Each structure stands twice: as structure tokens, then as C-alpha cells.
Amino acid sequence: MKKFINETSQVENEMIQGMVKAYPKHLKKLDCGNVVVRATKKEGKVALISGGGSGHEPAHGGFVGTGMLDAAVAGAVFTSPTPDQILEGIKAIATDAGVFMVVKNYTGDVMNFEMAAEMAEMEGISVKHVVTNDDVAVKDSLYTVGRRGVAGTLFVHKIAGALAEKGGSLDEVQAVAQKVVDNVRTMGAAIEPCTVPAAGEPGFTLEEDEMEIGIGIHGEPGTHRDNIKTADETTDILLTQILADIDYSGSEVAVMVNGSGGTPLMELFIINNHVADVLAEKGIKVYRTLVGDYMTSIEMKGFSISILKLDDEMKELLDAPADAPAWKE
């Protein structure tokens, strides 16, 4: 394993400290642990909290700021944060309007956030949540825990965050967050794995001529292995599965071409070039495009495509001003 780190046990802590030192106007770290909150608390609004394992930078700390999150909780690399840690975050940002949690659909995340919410309710804080599950690579059936929450979660942070900033109630924030979840789909692929620092070796291996289609953001296996293909061919495979999942015909969409950490922007733009062409051909209007590293998987060479079907409310909230370190207008 070759990485620019110090002690593996200090990876998460040093990363959070470095992030806060980079953006002191936006962020501050709670003394109790790896929880990032806005440098200045805003009273009276519904407070948004999200988080998950570390290794997804800039998510989630980079999306703390006006118009987006109020707090982000960072667990160990690829490991859900713990309930007491989440509870500290909830308590730090709680207002009379309540706290809203954005949770990605993983068994650990859901259990830990639910436990934290139960503890917060006992302390008199109203907490509601949404579970994101945008990954179409995973079957949503009775026999699985459902689809995984991946990069599409960023649209929930932005849109629900904008409504909360405007003064939306806890129920309204929950409703719009659920609407985003219902209308966003994502799928990814990778050509090189990532290595969790504490594990020291990659979670999986791929031959020189292989790629994994449908990969998760922790390097989990996807739908299948395939011979490596061109950017356009790979994009077609992912888009076909995304566009088959909900009816996008004639609609306006927001597109996110998300890098997994080890994919150069050059390649992400090549991918977006084809995404835009395919959508145009199908009569799907691209309202807004985001290209870059939003929800990474350490140094994995991979990418995902997210497509959010928009309505007027989501368009307005997507365009609302936001000022978080990693959100690019």
C-alpha cells in the first residue's frame, strides 16, 4: 500500500482537521469527535445532518454550509459513524424547527442513525430522516436490503438543504427530500480498486483488461465483470440501466458525472460528452450538469452517472444559492 498518510489510526481525524483548517469560514469541528458543523450556527431553520464512513471526500464535510448541510459526521473509513457521535452532531445543530437526517441505505448507517435519532428524541429533539437508495446496479427486492445510497445523495443535500434554508418545515423538508430520492438514479463502474488504509490491501482486484460494472462506493461488487470498454460503451451500459428504471422521457434532468477519486477530470468530461449526446438524442433536456469528485471511494478509478428528473420546485431549489466548500455553482 502506497499512500500519503501518517498513522492509519489517525487518517480520519487528520483528514477532518485538515478540511476544517482549509475552510475556517465555513466549517468547524466539534471537540468530541469527527463531526463537522457550520462555523456559524443558524437558528430557526430545520437543521440537516448527513454523513457516513470516511473515504468519500469531499462528502460529506465539504457539503456543510449555507443552503446545504448543517453537520456532517465522519465514521472510520467506509464504516458508519456511531450513534453517540451522530447524537453529538444532532445536539450541536438542533433548533426548535427540528433536525433532518440524510442517510444512505446501508444496514450499518441506517441502524446507527436510527439509534441516534431515538436518543435525540429522548432529549426532546424532533428528528426525521430520509434514506437514499439511488444505485440501480442493486436489485430492490424482498430478498435484499434494497438499493444502495450513492452519489445521487448529493442532490438530496442540495435540494432539501435549500428548502430548509428558505424556512421549510421539517415535514416539508422530508417531503422534498423523498421526492428527490424517488426521482434520482445512479450507476457506476470502475477499472481499478481502492485500498482501505487499515486493511492495507485492495478490497478486490481487477485484471489489466477487466472492469467492474455497477460498483458501489465502497468497492462492493456490482452487477458483473466485463472486458474493459471505451468511455462511450461503458457510459451506454450505465445509462441504459438508469434510463430503464424510471420514465425520463420528455423531462428535464440534472446530471452528475461523479469521479471515484482516481479518475482524472479529462476522463469525466469525455464521459459527460457522451452522456449529453445520448440524452439529447432521447429528447431528455439537461437543465444542469455537475462534473467532478463529489462522492469518492478513496483512490478508486471509477465514476458514476446520476440522473435526477426535475420538476419546477426541484429546479428552483437546485438553483438556490449555496455556499459549501465542495459545492461548485
Partner 1 sequence: MADSKKVIQILRAIGSKIEEEKDYLTKLDQPIGDSDHGINMARGFGEVEKKLDDLADKDIGTILKTVGMTLVSTVGGASGPLYGSAFLKAGMAAAGKTEMNVQDFLEIMDTAIQAVQQRGKAVLDEKTMLDAMIPSLEAMKAEASEDAKTVLKKGVEAAWKGVEHTKDIIATKGRASYLGERSIGHQDPGATSYSYILEVISQQI
Q: In the bound complex, what is the minimum distance in angstroms from residue 220's beta carbon to partner 1? A: 6
With respect to partner 1, which residue has the nearer C-beta, 200 or 264? 200
Closest CA to 225 of 214, 238, 236: 214
Question: How many other C-beta atoms lie within 10 A of the C-beta of residue 182?
Answer: 12
Report in angstroms the alpha-carbon separations of 178 from 37, 46, 103, 132.
24, 16, 12, 8
Per-residue interface string for the shown chain with partner 1, residues 28-67, x marking contact by CB under 8 A: -------------------------x--------------
The interface region with partner 1, picked from 76-84, 89-97, 169-177, 180-188 by CB under 8 A, is 76-84
* Per-residue x/- track, 204-243, partner 1 (CB under 8 A): ------------x-x-xx----------------------
Q: Are strands 210-213 and 224-227 parallel, antiparallel or unpaired?
A: antiparallel
With respect to partner 1, which residue has the nearer C-beta, 75 or 89? 75
- Out of 59, 138, 150, 194, name the contact with partner 1 by CB under 8 A: 138
Taking the complex as a whole, the smallest distance from the CB of residue 101 to partner 1 amounts, in Å, to: 15
Q: Is the peptide bond before 56 cis (omega within 30 degrees of 0)?
A: no
Q: Which residues contact 30 (CB under 8 A, 6 or more apart)?
A: 36, 37, 88, 89, 92
CB of 163 to partner 1, least distance (A): 30
Residues annotated as part of the active site: 56, 218
Pick between residue 76 and residue 275 the one whose CB is nearest to partner 1.
76
Residue 39: C-alpha distances to residues 4, 36, 67, 183, 236 (Å): 28, 9, 14, 32, 42
Among candidate residues 231, 215, 235, the one with its CA nearest the CA of residue 223: 215
Residue 173 binds to partner 1 (criterion: CB under 8 A):
no
**What DSSP character marks residue 135?**
B
Asked if 302 is part of the footprint of partner 1 (rule: CB under 8 A), the reply reads no
The overall longest dimension of the chain from CA atoms, in Å, is 56
Radius of gyration of the chain (CA): 19
Contact with partner 1 (CB under 8 A) among 139, 282, 285, 328: 139
Chain residues in the site for partner 1 (CB under 8 A): 53, 75-76, 78-85, 106-108, 111-112, 115, 138-139, 142-145, 148, 196, 198-199, 203, 216, 218, 220-221
